[in-house]
Amino acid sequence: MTEVSRPEPPPQGSGSRRLKYALIASLALNLLIIGAAAGTMYGFRKHPPRFGAGRGEDFGLMGLTHRLPSERKKEIRKQLRADRVALRPLVEEVRAARRAAAEKLAAEPFDRAALDSAITAAAEKDRTLRQAAVTAFLGHAEQLTSEERRMLADWWLKKNEAFKERRKKKGDDAQGPPD
């Protein structure tokens, strides 16, 4: 008769040791990912964007409301939300006009007159939206106290100076080091 040899069982603990290390590595990776996500969310909530134009609302009345007493802040923000609702149809018209211009640009065969007409229509919609926004802003500016208007003007000047400094620094970097 032939003898059948049975394979020897692996030493006790080698498989469980590998599993233990795999679980620890998995836990460490999960904690790293969760920490990175939480840190990113915390950073976006706590700090404004570092580059670019920043939030557009900071230049207007919304930026001013951060410096006002609570009741006055609530009152102005309520008015601004109502303005956004009123301006939303105009915003949608601008978007539709821009989409139409993009379609004319991509159309085959290319029709310069149709594209020119679509761009002109989009520009007119944009002017209408801007004028409505300026009109709403002027209405709010009339309701501000002289101190609030001065605060808003100072904020505008501060934002403008910061923008000019960024542009100046960017221009210096583009020229390279002096010879």
Determine the length of the chain. 179
- Residue 1 forms part of a structural domain: no
pLDDT class of 58 with cuts at 50, 70, 90: very low
The pLDDT confidence band at residue 163, using thresholds 50, 70 and 90, is low
pLDDT at 46 > cutoff 60: no
The model's pLDDT over 88-116, given as tens digits with 9 standing for 90+, comes to 999 999 999 999 999 999 999 999 999 99
Is 31 part of a structural domain of the chain?
A: no
Spatial distance between the Cα atoms of 65 and 145, rounded to a whole number of angstroms: 13
Residue 177 resides in a domain? no
Taking only the tens place, the pLDDT of each residue in 108-158 is: 999 999 999 999 999 999 999 999 988 888 888 888 889 988 888 888 888
Tell me how many domains the chain contains.
1
Which amino acid belongs to residue 173?
D
**pLDDT at residue 51 in the model:** 44
Mean pLDDT of the chain: 79
Could you tell me the CATH number of the domain that includes residue 112? Answer: 1.20.120
Question: Does residue 49 form part of some domain?
Answer: no
In this prediction, residue 57 has a pLDDT band, given cuts at 50, 70 and 90, of very low
In angstroms, rounded to a whole number, what is the distance separating the alpha carbons of residues 23 and 161?
54
Q: Which residues span the domain enclosing 132?
A: 56-162
In a domain, 169, yes or no: no
123 inside domain: yes
Confidence of residue 2 (pLDDT cuts 50, 70, 90): low
In terms of phi and psi (left: phi > 0; alpha: psi -120 to 50; beta: otherwise), the region of 176 is left
Indicate if the alpha-carbon torsion angle 44, 45, 51, 57 is positive or negative: positive
Report d(CA 38, CA 64) in Å as an integer. 29
Phi and psi at 68, nearest 5°, equal -100, 160
Decide if 99 is inside a domain: yes
Residue 42 falls within a domain, yes or no? no
Measure the CA–CA gap between 169 and 80, rounded to whole angstroms: 35
Percent of the chain residues past pLDDT 70, beyond the cut: 73
Residues 71-87 as b or e (16 or more Cβ within 10 Å = b): eeeeebeeebeebeeee
Contact 60, 137 (CB under 8 A): yes
Q: How many CB atoms are located within 10 Å of the residue 163 CB?
A: 13
pTM above 0.95, yes or no: no
